[in-house]
Amino acid sequence: MDLGLKDKVAFVAAASKGLGRAIAEELAREGAKVVMCSRDEAAIGRAAREVADATKGETVAVAADLSTAGGCERFIRAGLERFGRMDVLIVNAGGPPPGRFEELDEAKWDLAYQLTLQSAVRLTRLALPELKRTKGNIVYSTSTSVRQPTQYLNLILSNSLRGAVHGMLKTLSKDLAPYGIRVNALQPGRIDTERVRQLDEIGAKAQGKTPEEVRRGYETGVIPLGRYGEPREFAAAAVFLASERASYITGVSLQVDGGMLMSMF
């Protein structure tokens, strides 16, 4: 299936590893030119080179801290200076740290707010003039916790702020539809990334188990498909939503979780 992404320009936030890196590579395989960012200059440079080598595609690495207004501006400006357009914006950010409400002071809430919600607000605002011109689209990468706040770990920062991102995207999907801009989201479940492995380690310590036991518990008792997902499987869903083949899909929040969530909606 031709997804219609050849020579499109896609901006992928937090793309040095994990889900962002997988999305960037899948977009490049489809022929898109990809602008990738991370706050770690060495890591994003290495990731961009590896994606380009693996796909024979064209990538640009931008060192930018998306928890700041200046970092968001740097990311968007650098990509537009290089390619002169934007067709796809993938809004992604590392997850806030786990913790119980009583353990999280105002500074931790402020940092999570800047990284999780304000980065999405700022990147969207900066991208809109160009997306209106190209009739492009936005895909937010969030979490299944927006539908079912997890009871397995204390992720109150993520649960609170990712829900706000979803409220924003649903409103934007209506407001931006007259401009031909689609706005969607993806909810990753237990995808086998460094972030999820770290959460398994934290959960193991809290439960007096090994990380392997925590993972087996999810795979045998929580996830109907019986395994953690692979980053490339999540990336395939993201790339489809960003493609011309999804031209009549907007305002959707798609779970990619192996059937883990039991809710109908």
pLDDT per position as a tens digit, 160-171: 999 999 999 999
- Enter the pTM of the model: 0.95
pLDDT for residue 153: 64
| Integer Cα distance of 119 and 114 in angstroms | 6
Q: Each residue of 19-75: pLDDT tens digit? A: 999 999 999 999 999 999 999 999 999 999 999 999 999 999 999 999 999 999 999
Confidence at 86, pLDDT banded by 50, 70, 90: very high
Specify the higher pLDDT residue, 144 or 124.
124
Of the pLDDT bands very low, low, confident and very high (cuts 50, 70, 90), residue 1 is confident
Percentage, residues of the chain above pLDDT 90: 86
How far CA 76 is from CA of 11, 191, 219, 226, 233, in Å, comes to 8, 28, 39, 39, 27
DSSP state of 246: G
Q: How large is the average pLDDT for residues 248-255? A: 96
Check residue 5 and give its pLDDT. 98
Average pLDDT of the chain?
Answer: 95
pLDDT of residue 95: 83
* Helix (H), strand (E) at residue 253: strand 253-256
pLDDT tier at 97, thresholds 50, 70, 90: confident
Locate 68 and state its tokens: 């700041």
Q: Place 132 in a pLDDT band, splitting at 50, 70 and 90.
A: very high
> What value does the mean pLDDT take over residues 104-113?
95
Considering 113, 140, 152, 218, which one is annotated as catalytic?
152
pLDDT in tens, 135-152: 999 999 998 888 887 655
CB atoms within 10 A of CB 265: 5
* pLDDT at position 251 over 80: yes
Q: Is 152 a catalytic residue?
A: yes
3 state DSSP class of 10: strand
SS3 119: helix
Q: Identify whether the C-beta of residue 92 lies closer than 8 Å to the C-beta of residue 14.
A: yes
The helix or strand, by DSSP H or E, that contains position 245, with its residue range, turns out to be none
